Structure 1
Amino acid sequence: MRPRELIEKWVEAFNNADFDELGEMYSEDAVNYQVPEEPVEGREAIRKMFKEEFARAEMVCIVENIFEDGEWAILEWKDPLGLRGCGFFHVVNDKIVFQRGYWDKLSFLRQHGLPIPEE
């Protein structure tokens, strides 16, 4: 499966808040690094992260662009509340081995009425 095809399936699972299906898209030792957060390592930890995040806020990914270059796919996205971001996915043997995402955590927390951490 091409990286673009996997990311299209990833978006569908994300929009269905299907943390189990999302988890299956990652390799056993995958790393998911959302830049505003600490990296999450391992398929089960990534699955747990999605489960917790979906319980915390309703999230929707609207695809603006998906680019593919070899083993990499880049997803530009927005959500219905106006947040925008992008994600980089390294795909090997039909599994995500590394993901890095860039988005504005403060805007996300404000839009969803979530507490803003104090420093």
Structure 2
Amino acid sequence: MEPRQLIEKWVDAFNKGDAEMIAEFYAESAVNHQVANEPVVGKSAIKQMFANEFSAAEMVCIVENIFQDGDWAMLEWKDPIGLRGCGFFQFEDGLIVFQRGYWDKLSFLKAHNLPIPN
């Protein structure tokens, strides 16, 4: 399966809010670095990150664009409340080995009435 198709399936899993399902897209030693946060290393830590995030806020990813370049896919997204961002995913053997995401953390926290760190 091409990276673009894998991102489409990843978005479906994300929108279901299922940490177990989304974790299956990651290699055991994958790194997920949402630049507003510290990098998360390893499939089980990534699964826990998603479980925590899905329990803290209702999140919806609406695809605006997906681009593919070799073993990389780029996702441009928005959500129903107006937040926007993008993600870069590197694949090996059909699994995400590296992910980097860019989005406005302050706007996200305010929109979901979550605590703002000092």
TM-score when normalising by structure 2 = 0.99
Q: Does 2:35 correspond to 1:35? A: yes
Deviations 1:70-116 (A, max 9, x none): 00000000000100000000011000000000000000000001111
In structure 2, the residue matched to 1:101 is: 101
Match in the other structure for 1:89: 89
Mapped pair 1:6 → 2:6: yes
Q: CA deviation at 1:18?
A: 1.1
- Size of the aligned set, in residue pairs, is 118
1:49 is aligned to 49
Amino acid at match of 1:76: E
Percent identity of equivalent pairs: 67
Q: Residue 73 of structure 1 aligns to which amino acid in structure 2? A: A
Q: Distance in 1 between matches of 2:10 and 2:18?
A: 10
Runs of 5+ unmatched residues, structure 1: none
Using the alignment, how far apart are the partners of 1:73 and 1:10 within structure 2? 11
Q: Distance in 2 between matches of 1:107 and 1:22?
A: 24
- For the residues of structure 1 that align with 2:113 and 2:74, how far apart are their CA atoms? 29
Give the secondary structure class of the aligned counterpart of 1:116.
coil
> 1:110 maps to which residue?
110
Partner of 2:23: 23
Letter in 1 for 2:67: F
TM-score by length of 1: 0.98
Instruction: Tell me how far apart the structure 2 counterparts of residues 57 and 20 of structure 1 sit (CA, whole Å).
Output: 17
